[in-house]
């Protein structure tokens, strides 16, 4: 009997899994339906480039038709619920899609941690419309500003997205001469928290050289229409920072649509628990990418990165094919191949597999950053598209 497999999401996890499933499945074994709320794959880890230059969007959006084979059916729509008893996914338009096996690869949304006013006033960067809106608001604020009173852009959260976004705003200012000041605010003591001090130091240096203000060690405690309040407590007044544009990249949490999904999830974030084969507590439901907390042993889970998502996707697609034919599933463990982070036109590379220097910048780091993005684009689409995107990465 032909099984019905459904993949939800067209990010790295979903697009990668569709490709690897198509390669692994034998004719007649299964029918694949791919559902996503966009009919393109967004190279999200380069979305910050659109903040500087929105024309980059054509290079970082790949139509699903270019990714999937003709045998796979694509359905554009937002999944709003999962019914594991009926084995159905519910869609926003009221339709349902049945599955024998499904893979959840819907990423995450931005977390606001209940900080007063943050969700209401901050922009986020999780999608193409988000990137366009940041570009629109930064350019508008710059148009209304003067050299004496520059537009204030605050980026909250100095992880991968925050650092790279602040770098792009600074690059936009330097390329256009727009009167803009950009400040990165991080609650923990260092930029790129939880990482090696050498890479933190290098990033701090590059951000400073790009004239990005850095405020670390105090959390944003409240936001109103014009002001970000940082720190403060019962006996201490918070520091007030006025802003024109506030971009919040300080955390991720599970998608609301799956908060009630009947599979085991983290109580706080609702991200779905999955074992090393990507199976959830329901053995017909698999989960990968940022959506999932994938067990890596010793209470560790795979990191929420593009790199981890595309590594996992390769095995997840194959596991779906194995599940269909009743073969044993493969276990996956994340291999950290290093970190590449842009600060405008510069980049920092850290612990890159096969390279003996632990942390470096310069042309080699910029080249590697471009190469990794181009390799992914070539893998899901074509070498031609990767070559075309090269200069914008
Ligand atoms: C600005 C920025 C810079 C980053 N830089 C790096 C970096 O340098 N290196 C790195 O490794 N990682 C980086 N990351 C993190 C990386 O982008 C994520 O870890 C990665 O995108 C996760 O892939 P995913 O496929 O799990 O989720 P996503 O890429 O978020 O894809 C989720 C997909 O699901 C779809 N979807 C969501 N909800 C629904 C629904 N209800 N119904 C149907 N479809 C739905 C979405 O449209 C999307 O197609 C960065 C992230 C950002 C935002």
Tell me which of 197, 232, 248 is where a domain ends.
Answer: 248
313 and 294 inside one domain: yes
Q: Is residue 113 part of a domain?
A: no
The 3-state DSSP composition of the chain as helix, strand, coil percent (nearest 5) reads: 35, 25, 40
Q: Which ligand 1 atom minimizes the distance to the CA of 35?
A: 43
16 and 96 inside one domain: yes
The DSSP secondary-structure symbol of 359 reads E
240 and 138 inside one domain: yes
Task: Identify the residues whose C-beta falls under 6 Å from ligand 1.
Answer: 8-14, 35-38, 44-45, 47-48, 78-79, 105-107, 125-126, 160-161, 164-165, 255, 257, 289-291, 304-307, 309, 341
Q: Name the burial class of residue 147, with classes exposed (0-12), middle (13-18) and buried (19+) by CB atoms within 10 angstroms of its CB.
A: exposed
Q: Is residue 217 part of a domain?
A: yes
Q: Which ligand 1 atom minimizes the distance to the CA of 10?
A: 49
Q: Is residue 334 part of a domain?
A: no
The model's pTM is: 0.96
> Please, where are the H alpha helices in 244-334?
306-325
Tokens of 54: 């929105």
20 and 88 inside one domain: yes
Find all residues with CB under 8 Å of 140, minimum gap 6, and list them. none
Q: Given ligand 1 and candidates 45, 52, 110, 372, which is best to mutate, with the most ligand atoms within 8 Å of its CB?
A: 45
Full residue range of the structural domain in which residue 387 is found: 339-392
Dist CA 96 CA 87 (whole Å): 10
Q: Pairing mode, if any, of strands 101-104 and 3-8?
A: parallel
Question: Ligand 1 centre and the CA of 11: distance in Å?
Answer: 5
104 and 141 inside one domain: no
Number of domain units in the chain: 3
Distance from chain centroid for Cα 358:
25
Could you report the per-residue pLDDT of 242-301, keeping only the tens digit for each?
999 999 999 999 999 999 999 999 999 999 999 999 999 999 999 999 999 999 999 999
58 and 127 inside one domain: no
Q: Decide: 387 and 374 in contact? Cβ < 8 Å.
A: yes
Q: Given ligand 1 and candidates 49, 272, 305, which is best to mutate, with the most ligand atoms within 8 Å of its CB?
A: 305
Find all residues with CB under 8 Å of 143, minimum gap 6, and list them. none
Tokens of 101: 């096996």
242 and 260 inside one domain: no
> So what's the pLDDT on residue 288?
98
Q: Is residue 243 part of a domain?
A: yes
**Looking at the DSSP assignment, which residues form a beta bridge with residue 110?**
252
Q: Is residue 228 part of a domain?
A: yes
Q: Is residue 330 part of a domain?
A: no
Residue showing tokens 């291999």: 335
Q: What is the CATH number of the domain that holds 186?
A: 3.50.50.60
Q: Pairing mode, if any, of strands 239-242 and 96-98?
A: unpaired
Q: Name the burial class of residue 336, with classes exposed (0-12), middle (13-18) and buried (19+) by CB atoms within 10 angstroms of its CB.
A: middle
Tell me which of 303, 325, 347 is where a domain ends.
Answer: 325
Question: Ligand 1 centre and the CA of 206: distance in Å?
Answer: 25
pLDDT averaged per 10 residues in sequence order, the chain, 393 residues: 95 98 96 98 95 93 97 98 98 98 98 97 97 97 97 97 98 97 97 96 98 97 97 90 98 95 96 98 98 95 96 98 97 96 97 93 95 94 91 83
Q: Is residue 333 part of a domain?
A: no
> Please, where are the H alpha helices in the chain?
12-24, 49-52, 57-60, 64-67, 118-121, 128-144, 160-176, 197-209, 306-325, 362-380, 383-389
Q: Is residue 331 part of a domain?
A: no
> So what's the pLDDT on residue 168?
97
């Amino acid at each position: 009997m032909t099984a019905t497999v459904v993949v939800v999401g067209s990010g790295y996890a979903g697009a990668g899994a569709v490709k690897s499933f198509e390669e692994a499945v034998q004719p007649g074994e299964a029918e694949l339906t791919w559902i996503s709320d966009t009919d393109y794959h967004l190279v999200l880890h380069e979305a910050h480039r659109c903040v500087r230059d929105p024309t980059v969007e054509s290079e970082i959006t790949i139509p699903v038709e270019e990714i999937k084979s003709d045998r796979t059916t694509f359905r554009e729509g937002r999944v709003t619920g999962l019914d594991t008893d009926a084995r159905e996914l519910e869609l926003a338009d009221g339709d349902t899609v049945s599955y024998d096996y499904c893979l959840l690869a819907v990423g995450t949304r931005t977390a606001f941690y209940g900080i007063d006013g943050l969700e209401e006033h901050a922009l986020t960067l999780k999608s193409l419309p988000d990137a366009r809106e940041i570009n629109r608001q930064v350019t508008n604020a710059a148009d209304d500003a003067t050299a004496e009173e520059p537009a204030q852009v605050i980026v909250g959260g100095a992880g991968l997205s925050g650092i790279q976004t602040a770098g792009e705003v600074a690059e936009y200012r330097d390329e256009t001469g727009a009167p803009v000041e950009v400040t990165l605010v991080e609650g923990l003591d260092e930029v790129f928290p939880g990482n090696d001090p050498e890479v933190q130091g290098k990033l701090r240096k590059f951000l400073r050289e790009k004239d990005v203000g850095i405020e670390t060690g105090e959390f944003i405690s409240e936001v109103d229409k014009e002001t970000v309040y940082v720190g403060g407590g019962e006996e201490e007044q918070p520091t007030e920072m006025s802003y024109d544009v506030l971009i919040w990249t300080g955390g991720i949490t599970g998608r609301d649509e799956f908060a009630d999904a009947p599979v085991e999830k983290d109580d706080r974030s609702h991200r779905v628990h999955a074992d090393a084969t990507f199976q959830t507590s329901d053995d017909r439901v698999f989960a990968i990418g940022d959506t999932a907390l994938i067990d890596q042993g010793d209470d560790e889970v795979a990191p929420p990165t593009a790199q981890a998502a595309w590594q996992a996707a390769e095995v997840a697609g194959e596991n779906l094919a194995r599940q269909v034919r009743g073969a044993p599933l493969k276990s996956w463990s994340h291999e950290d191949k290093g970190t590449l982070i842009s600060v405008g036109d510069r980049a920092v590379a850290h612990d890159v597999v096969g390279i003996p220097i632990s942390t470096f910048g310069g042309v080699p780091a910029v080249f590697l950053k471009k190469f990794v993005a181009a390799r992914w684009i070539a893998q899901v689409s074509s070498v031609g598209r990767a070559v075309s995107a090269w200069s914008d990465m």
